[in-house]
Structure 1
Amino acid sequence: MRGRVLVVDDDPLVSSALRRTLAREHDVEVVVSSRKALDMLVAPESLYDVILCDLMMPEMTGMELHAQLAAAAPEQARRMVFVTGGAYTPAAQSFLERVSNPRLEKPFEPDKLRERVREWVAQVRTA
């Protein structure tokens, strides 16, 4: 099942790797700015199956993006998957414990990533 995936990551190497890994099976868009992602995600015509979002970004963190989406586009906020490097600030750790969104630890194995994204797309499409 081909899904629509948005990658939100300020690191071009990570976002490029995610796009390459997923592009054969899904329609993948990449943005390097969380503010641009917010503008895209609140637009009524923008509905993504999975949003892979870096937790720690300079202009707006994944936590802040999630909070704004939860208020403006809750359906999209529920589709977020947080991409993390494993080192958490206390605020990030607390946030990840509070939300039910899945997380993806870097570095990720391409086959496992494809499998997980397939599962997440299927969950959204059958809900």
Structure 2
Amino acid sequence: MKFSLEKLKRMLIVDDTEAIRHILQNMFRIEAGFAVGTAASGAIALDMLSKNKYDILLIDLDMPIMSGIELYQRIKDKYPDIVERVIFMSAGNPNASTRHFLVKTRQPFLLKPFTVAELLKCI
């Protein structure tokens, strides 16, 4: 996924851990100049996507109720024009089925913690 950084300015961070959302929001707002929205769940993310446009979606794979994989599938169905801008993240190494999903979709994956520079390499 390679896009012009000048055009990518709106990011949605989806993570069930409030501290992670807060840290990432500040990190990308301050260090990279992004306008950052946050969602605590897949359901909230889908609601936000219905009301706002985002250039990058940073989604935690390991969330309760709706996993990052399930959220990706819903985004793919409802918003196919932005599905290629999804970047996944996780605090732990993915299991075999998640690794298979990542290979199949060819979406970038970052292991937490990561830096702004590491994310920008995915764009």
What's the TM-score once normalised by structure 1's chain length? 0.81
Identical amino acids, percent of aligned pairs:
30
Q: Does 2:26 correspond to 1:5?
A: no
Contact 1:85/1:107 (CA < 8 Å) preserved in 2? yes
Q: Is the 2:13–2:59 Cα contact (8 Å) retained in structure 1? A: yes
Distance 1:109 1:29 in 2: 18
Whichever residue aligns with residue 87 of structure 1, its letter is N
4+ residue runs over 6 A deviation = none
Is residue 2:34 matched to residue 1:30? no
Q: Structure 1 counterpart of 2:9, which letter?
A: G
| Alignment-derived partner of residue 105 in structure 2 | 99
2:88–2:110 contact (8 Å) kept in structure 1: yes
- 2:120 match: 116
SS of structure 2 residue aligned to 1:92: helix
Cα contact 2:93–2:111 (8 A) shared by 1: no
Offset at 1:76?
2.1
1:56 aligns with 2:51: no
Partner of 2:3: none
In structure 1, the residue matched to 2:80 is 74
SS at the partner of 1:21? Answer: helix
| Cα distance between partner residues in 2 of 1:106 and 1:47 | 25
SS in 2 for 1:23: helix
TM-score when scaled to structure 2?
Answer: 0.83
For the residue of structure 1 that corresponds to 2:45, the secondary structure is helix
CA RMSD, Structure 1 to Structure 2 (Å): 1.8
- Could you say what secondary structure the match of 2:59 adopts? strand
